[in-house]
Structure 1
Amino acid sequence: MLDVYHEEGRKEIENSPFVAVIADETTDVACEFQLVIVFRYLCKGRPVERFWRFYMLDGHDAKSNAECILNVLQPLLIHSPNKLIAQSYDGASVMSDKNMLKNELQVLYQRDELSTTSEAVSLSILLNEEGLNCTFQETLKLLVILITILMSTSEAERCFSRLKRIKTFLRNTMKEERLGALDMFAEQHFVNGIENFNNKVIENFATKKERRMDLIYRKL
C-alpha cells in the first residue's frame, strides 16, 4: 500500500511546478533517531502537504539528516532539480522579466473580480477557473511560488504526534518500512482520492515476486 501511495505522490510532484520539503527529527520510544519528511506543493490549484515517510538515522547530526533528505529528493527531482524551492529562496527566475510581471499586475488590478481577491490561493484558483492562466503566466508563477513556500513545520510536528501513538513501548522494535506504512493511513483523504487504490495495491503485491499462485485474474 505504501508503494502505491508513494507512486501517486510522485505523479502529483511531477505535475506540480514547484515543491518544498519539510523535515524534522525526534527520538522515539526506543531511543532511535527518527526523521520525518513532508512535501508541500500545489495539486489541482490548491496547496497540499503530504507525509512521505519516517526514516531511522544512524546519527543525530546535520550530516546524517542531509544525506537522508538528499537520498529521498534525488529520485523525485532527478529530471527537474530546479523545481525544489525553500523559504529562503529569493532568486526566482520568473522575476527576470520585471516589465512583463508589472504589466500583468496592472491589468489584474483593473478587473474588479480579481482586485478584490485578497488571498494567494483564492487568486490562483480564480485565474485557473476563468481560463486566465495563459494571460497572467508570470503572475501565476509568482503565486505558485508564494503558496509553495513553507510557513511553518506544523505538519511535521503533527507527524510526531502520530508517531507516539503508533510506536509505543509494546511495539518499540518496529522498523522503518512498517512504521512509514502505518503512518500512511493518517493521509486518509489522499488515499481515498486515489482511483482504483485497492486494485493497484493487489497488483503491486502480486507482481513484487514470484508466487506459487497467480493472484492476478486476467480476462481472456
Structure 2
Amino acid sequence: MKGVEKLFLMRPPHISNTKKYMLPVIEAARIAGVKHIVFLSLLGVEKNPIVPHYKVEKAIQKSTIPYTFLRPSFFMQNLIQQHGEEIRRDREIFVPAGNGKTSFIDVRDIAAVAVKALTEEHHENKAYSLTGSDALTYYEVATILSEELGMDFTYTNPSIKQFKEKMKAKGIPTEFITVMIGIYLTAKLGLAKKITDDLAMILERKPITVRQFVKDYREEFLMEN
C-alpha cells in the first residue's frame, strides 16, 4: 500500500471469509494513509447482512477512510461466466430466483462509473445503486436470448436445493454456493428489481440493455463447450 492514494477494492467471488481476507487489506490501507477506497459492493446490500459485501462496507466505514460504494445489480456477464455452460449446452438458465425481477447491469457500465469515482472529485462517502434501465425476470431474459440467438432458451426456476446440488456436482465450493444463493434470494424476494438513475446521472447516458449485451456477446453464447 506504500505510496497508494486511491484503492479500487473488489472481493474475489470465491472468497466469503471477509475477516481473514478482506479486513486486513482495509486495515493496511488505513495504516498506509490511503485517501479513498472505491468498493465494488452489491445492490440492496444495506438490507442483506448475509452477503460478504455487507461486512466489508461496515469495515470500510469503521476505518474512517473516505469511500465510494458501487452497489450494482446482477452482472449481465454472469450469464456467460457463471452460467454459460448450462446456457450453451442445455439452452437453459438454471438459477433459483423465482419470478423475481432483476435490474441487470453490464460490467462495462460499472467500470465506467468506477473510473469516474476514482478520478473525479465529489464522490467521497457516497453509495451509488447502479442498475440497468429495465427490471426483467429470468423468463424474460430467456425470451431475449431466444429472439437474438435464433434458438429456444428456457428458465427452469429450480429450487434452492436443486441449485445447490447441481453446483456441488460442478465442483463449486460450498461457501461460494452459499453466497450465490444469498444473491439469488435477493432477486426472489423482489429486492433486485430496483431501478435507479445513478448510472445515467454519473455517465450522462443510458445503461446498456440486456438485448444489446446479448448482441455484443453473441459469439460467446453460441460457442462450443
Give the TM-score range, shorter chain.
under 0.3
Return the index of the structure with the highest Cα Rg. Answer: 1
User: TM-score if structure 1 supplies the norm length?
Assistant: 0.25
Higher RCO (CA 8 Å, separation ≥ 6 residues): 1
